[in-house]
Amino acid sequence: MTSKDKKDGGIVETIKTVVYALLLAGVFRTLFFQPFWIPSGSMKETLLVGDFLFVNKMAYGYSYASCPSVIIPSLGINVDAEDLCGFVQKENQRFLGKSPERGDVVVFRHPVTGRDYIKRLIGLPGDTVQMMNSVLYLNGQPVPRKPDGVFTEVMEPQGPFRRRPRCSNGSVGDSGTCSKNRFVETLPNGVTYSTLDIGTERLDNTAIFTVPDGHFFFMGDNRDNSTDSRVPQSVNGVGFVPFEDLVGRADRVLFSSSGRSMLFFWTWRGDRFFKGID
């Protein structure tokens, strides 16, 4: 064998190794865990802008939404799960499907845009959901809610989109203290979590929503800064989410960056490594 043959053989083996590694990574991401980086503040304080976590895809079984999306706007790449696995969509079903529990923090595909969202599951099929004067009502009963102090953060651009937070203490200049009132809600199944409130907003009072069979109702914990099921799809909201559009459950934050990129390790938050998600 000549040196040229050896060189060509080495290149082929390298290519094969890379292809096998990519295939293995694709299978792992499709079947088990999908990385997710929190880009917005709709789930504060449960999830902060810059939290990096893995979504447990085994929690609810598998559907077309289990296929990974490859979206890189800078390169003009926009291939989502429906493009790859839409052929397996069938009557809102899942393989090895398991029903989610009320209070789970879930990643799902937006039923219209296909983009990944992360919110808390509030309403199950058949439930009625309503907000009245900032209080959540499930099946006609108010969900227990008690004050729990104040959530504060620095007023500054956050995350890759450089969005500034909204505050309950009025207009706050850069580097000032932005405050939100914190409450603790307890769902009928005993799940408790914090919600944030900046005052009376349009989604603090809603109509009564009846969750259809095979669908779910989601809300963000940062109630006045969340586009969720309270807003119908017809006006660019989320609306009711079909069972097949669930991607998986978020269980634990791996690490968190307060900077523009998760690669900026000097901006990592020391208190959020392997933090459980309630």
Question: For strand 105-109 and strand 116-123, is the pairing parallel, antiparallel, or unpaired?
Answer: antiparallel
Q: In 3-state terms, what secondary structure has residue 274?
A: coil
201 φ, ψ (degrees, to nearest 5): -125, 170
Annotated catalytic, 119?
Answer: yes
Task: Give the angle subtended at the CA of 18 by the CAs of 12 and 22, to the nearest 5°.
Answer: 145
> Per the residue annotation, which of 44, 57, 119, 275 is the catalytic one?
119
Q: Which residues pair with 129 in a beta bridge?
A: 138, 209
Dihedral angle of Cα 145, 150, 153, 159, to the nearest 10 degrees? 0
> Per the residue annotation, which of 42, 66, 134, 226 is the catalytic one?
42
In which element (H, E) is residue 81 found? helix 81-85
DSSP designation for 64 = G
Sort residue 103 into left (φ over 0), alpha (ψ -120 to 50) or beta.
Answer: left
DSSP labels for 211-270?
A: PPTTEEEEE-SBGGG--STTS-GGGTS---EEGGGEEEEEEEEEEEBSSSSTT-GGGB-T
DSSP designation for 144 = P
DSSP labels for 150-195?
A: EEEEE-S-BTTTTBPPP-SS----TTSEEEEEEEEEE-TTS-EEEE
Residues with a catalytic annotation lie at 42, 119
